Amino acid sequence: MYRREFSQANQSVITDNKTLEREINLAKVIQSKLLNGEKPKLDKDDISGVSIPARLIGGDYFDFYPLPNGRLRVVIGDVMGKGIPAAMLMILTRGAFRTAAESTQGPGETLTAMNNALYKDLRSLSSFVTVFCADWEPSTGAFYYSNAGHSLPIVVRKTSELIEIPKIKGVMLGGLPDQVYKEEKITLQEGDFIFLYTDGIIEARNREGDMYKEGRLIKVLKENVSKTAVEIETVVIDSVTHFTEGVAQRDDITMVSMKVGKDKTDISSFNSPLV
């Protein structure tokens, strides 16, 4: 009698685990599809993005949103924490970005609208999101950007020269209410490569506990600037993998990269996504 009850209880746990595993895998598929949706096709420029979660699903986020004025709005973000809780907030962040992108003039306004939309929820959940948002204007080479507590991108000229871009700070989303996010602007030239990333890259550790750090990342980007955006992303992933010597990935790794083409370009073959 006891043995039969124990067996039934054990069977129930196995079924629950299988259900949980199935649901997590479905969540992984959903997140992967949302992150790896259709990329904008630029006439001349080369753009790419990739996200590798540390666990089955992650809290990093990147997205592209073509605007009616010919600009392309780009965003990269890192939700505090890891795994399922972070993934849930990442979906919330995505919705806030897509809603804000449609109704705001520039990246600064987008971050302000996102913070206004998310602040109460994030505060009540004791969570935060760092976000870097930019508008790429292919017709002029202008790159407008704003920052909510995220790392600034790395810009490398085709000559492998590192470009120091104007620093800009802003409180991470969920940090303080009613924030106004400032904007900066740089002008990119033909062959320039711009790399947006989350801290999972530079904070990756090897067996000795040493971190990959920004210096190694810059070196890799400078050495491979002649390659395509996708190729450079692959080289970065390979470099981090080689450095970590098989140590399990601790944090989500996400990057968005763009290489400026020869002539002025138009964004085509891509409709503004539905929210």
Nearest CB to other proteins, comparing residues 125 and 235: 125
d(CA 44, CA 136): 13
Please give the residues from 179 up to 238 whose contact with other proteins meets the rule CB under 8 A: 199, 203, 211
Task: Answer whether 217's CB lies under 8 Å from 35's CB.
Answer: no
Candidate list 78, 137, 192, 233; residue touching other proteins; CB under 8 A: 78
Stretch that binds other proteins, among 12-20, 168-176, 182-190, 267-275 (CB under 8 A): 168-176
Please give the residues from 12 up to 71 whose contact with other proteins meets the rule CB under 8 A: none
Q: Please report whether residue 149 would count as binding other proteins according to CB under 8 A.
A: yes
Nearest CB to other proteins, comparing residues 216 and 264: 216
Please give the residues from 169 up to 188 whose contact with other proteins meets the rule CB under 8 A: 169-172, 175-176
- Binning the chain into helix, strand and coil, the percentages to the nearest 5 are 35, 25, 40
Task: Answer whether 145's CB lies under 8 Å from 183's CB.
Answer: yes
Stretch that binds other proteins, among 44-52, 63-71, 167-175, 215-223 (CB under 8 A): 167-175
Contacts of 177 (CB under 8 A, 6+ apart): 115, 116, 119
Task: Answer whether 215's CB lies under 8 Å from 148's CB.
Answer: no
Binding mask of the shown chain, residues 109 to 128, with x at each position contacting other proteins by CB under 8 A: -----------------xxx
In degrees, to the nearest 5, what angle opens at C-alpha 31 toward C-alphas 25 and 35? 145
**Which run of H or E residues covers position 148?**
strand 142-148
Q: What does the binding site for other proteins look like in residue numbers (CB under 8 A)? A: 78, 80-82, 126-128, 130, 149-151, 169-172, 175-176, 199, 203, 211, 250-251
